[in-house]
Structures are given as structure tokens and as C-alpha cells.
Amino acid sequence: AGPASGADRFCYNELKGDRMVCVMEWRKKGVKSSIKTSLPLKLLKLLMKEKINELTVEDAEKRLPAVLRPVLMPMIRSYAKAAGVAGVLFAPYYIEGGLKGVISADICPGNREKTGWDREDRTLIADVSNIVQLTSERRAAFERSRRSLDWFRTLFESAPDAYFLNDLKLSLIHI
């Protein structure tokens, strides 16, 4: 997705405790890695206003409550400088109603080819976020089903009495 968007870096970020952490990325040759960089979840929630969010440092300042700007803007500027980010486009993904991660695309300082995001970029990042969300939900449902089956099997096989299962035609399924 990174090359298709013209971004310098495309990241998969996961919620780990109270921080959003970059755990996987694609990046252009010569672009600094952002693996293991993180932002506090509370700060991210202040900056996240929509399903698709486009931010520069200046945009971040506008989104923050005025009372928090003196404390948070130095942190944001420091993060942007350390990570080499001039602009970011990001979309959160949720599992079972809870925020689980963010898909993000970065433009780094010095990128003369890409200065902002267009509708196609927004569509791409929304699609990637939706795919991650659906895949994660399916994986979580499969794991719940497997645990339920394991629990039922253990209960059935360790029962002190004889039990059997049959279908609607009274054919034995399990003894």
C-alpha cells in the first residue's frame, strides 16, 4: 500500500497497554524506521476526530484543547522530529467495539513528490484499515470458537458418567 499512496512510510500500529506502538512497516529506501515508536493513547484520542485523519504538526495543535497545548505540543514536535514525519494520514481499527490499532501513512520532510493526501489515499488507508479489522475480528471469533470447542470436549471426555451425542435422525455422533 505504501508505494501506491506515494507515502514514505506505511505502518501497522497496535495498542499495547496505554500506548499505540508501530509494530510493522513498509518504508522507502533511506527513510528512517519507526518500528517501536509510540504515542500515548490519550494523546492519540485527542488527535483522532474522524475515521480517516490527516495531520501535520500544525493540524495537531489546532485539534488540541488550548489548555493542553503548552504541555503536549513539545511532545508532538519531538515525536515528529524523531520519527521524521511531516504529515500523517491514519485510520483506526476496532475489534469488538474497542480500539485495537491504527494504520498510518507518513510523508517525511524533504519529500517533494508528495505534499499532501488526496481522496484515493484516504480510500486506500480506509480499505487497509477495514481489511485489518475484518481479519482481526475473524481471527478473534475463530479463537473463541476453538476455546469453546476445547472446553466442551474436555468436559465431555472427562465426565464421570457415560454420555453420547446424536443428531436429529438419532444417529450417534460421539460416545
How far is Cα 45 from Cα 59, in angstroms, rounded to an integer? 14
Cα gap 156→114, rounded to integer Å:
61
Rounded Cα–Cα distance for residues 23 and 163 (Å): 48
Residue with cell 495498542: 15
Q: Are strands 87-95 and 53-56 parallel, antiparallel or unpaired?
A: antiparallel
Reported as a single tens digit per residue, the pLDDT across 35-93 is: 998 889 998 898 988 888 898 889 899 999 999 999 999 989 988 888 888 899 999 98
pLDDT of residue 125: 84
Whole-number pLDDT of residue 2: 67
Q: Quote the CA–CA distance of 139 and 151 in Å, as a whole number.
A: 18
pTM of the model: 0.75
Amino acid identity at 160: P
What is the rounded distance in angstroms from the CA atom of residue 136 to the CA atom of residue 138? 5
What are the grid coordinates assigned to 111, written together?
A: 519529500
DSSP calls for 77-103 = HHHHHHHT-SEEEEEEEEETTEEEEEE
Q: What is the average pLDDT value for the chain, to the nearest integer?
A: 86
Contact between 106 and 87 under an 8 Å Cβ cutoff? The reply is yes
Q: Among residues of the chain, what percentage have pLDDT more than 90?
A: 27
- In terms of DSSP bridges, do strands 19-27 and 9-16 run parallel, antiparallel, or are they unpaired? antiparallel
